[in-house]
Amino acid sequence: MKYKIKVSVSLSVLFLLSDIGCSSSDHFVRYSKSYIEVGKIMDSVQLPYIIDLQNGHTHLIALGVSHTYHDDDPQISIIKKTFLQFNPDLTINEGGSITKTFATEQEAVQQNAEAGLLKYLSDGAHTPLINGDIEDSLEFKLMLKKYSKDDLFLYYIMERLVIPYLNGAYGNKPFEELYTKALEKWFIKEGFPVDENWGNFEGFKQLYQTKMGHPLLLTLNPDIELFDYVNPDCTYCAVGRTSKILRDSILLEKIHSELKVHQKVMVVFGHAHILAIETALKKMMKR
């Protein structure tokens, strides 16, 4: 409830008054890198990308990572080392609230990537962990003010399911099985107005054909670029940038709120997000 109240006020200022134009936020947009700019540098930075900021007794460390489910990834050992050395009062993860308790570090990473590791470490140190993301239900509600449900559904399925699947994020499970589970858990339960025609993968393929003008191929192909937020001149890339800025603004609001009551805060998020908000974090810590 604490965050629901604060986030609602923040969103009224950042997005609703500007019809989610993302241009009126003094707290984020004026003091950030654009996601097109982020796209030009994100492949050249060392990961995890670490921002370490301190002002008096207030200390913030933000780690930008490439999401990994591999416990032998060098990023995992750096996140662990940073946590143990920093001993934060509070940690913030990407991707929703994590309620599960993990028996081992390996299990945590293999099931919930670096966010699982952060949960495992936080549990071991009795450190509170909070979700730094916007709730999906609220994101959908706000994004639907700007985009049609057809365009949003197409973008979210491609960005959150198809592209990660093609990059090996979901193992060897049949895509149709993954689609059915994602539809119920990620969309229907979160209040997205799912059209009855999208109830199975065949319906989604029909939507893709209508919007893109050709069939969907479950392969890594040039169409992927048409859903990548770093590309400047494509419809669904713009949808992605709006979603990213919305989520970043929520993250900044939560960091700002927690730094008022905790001296040491550690954040682990995707490195594109951390690169985008770096300047805003520096402005925040100077105040």
Q: What is the pLDDT of residues 219-243, one digit of tens each?
A: 999 999 999 999 999 999 999 999 9
The half-sphere exposure of 188 on its side-chain side, counting CA atoms within 13 A, is 12
* pTM: predicted TM-score of the whole model, two decimal places: 0.87
Mean pLDDT of 235-257: 92
Q: How confident is the model at residue 17 (pLDDT cuts 50, 70, 90)?
A: very low
Token representation of residue 279: 């300047």
Q: How confident is the model at residue 37 (pLDDT cuts 50, 70, 90)?
A: very high
Range with lowest mean pLDDT among 82-91, 165-174, 217-226: 165-174
Find out whether 205 and 215 touch, Cβ atoms under 8 Å.
Answer: yes
Range with lowest mean pLDDT among 6-20, 115-129, 204-218: 6-20
**H or E, element range at 74:** helix 74-86
The residue to which tokens 């003094």 are assigned? 26
Cα separation, 277 vs 154, whole angstroms = 27
φ, ψ for residue 97 (rounded to 5)?
-70, 135
Residue 22 has pLDDT above 80, yes or no: no
pLDDT of residue 168: 85
Largest Cα–Cα distance of the chain, in whole Å? Answer: 57
Mean pLDDT of 6-20: 43
Residue 4 has pLDDT above 60, yes or no: no
Residue 28 has pLDDT above 70, yes or no: no
More confident residue, 175 or 18: 175
Residue 144 CB coordination number (10 Å): 15
Token representation of residue 69: 């489910």
The half-sphere exposure of 220 on its side-chain side, counting CA atoms within 13 A, is 5
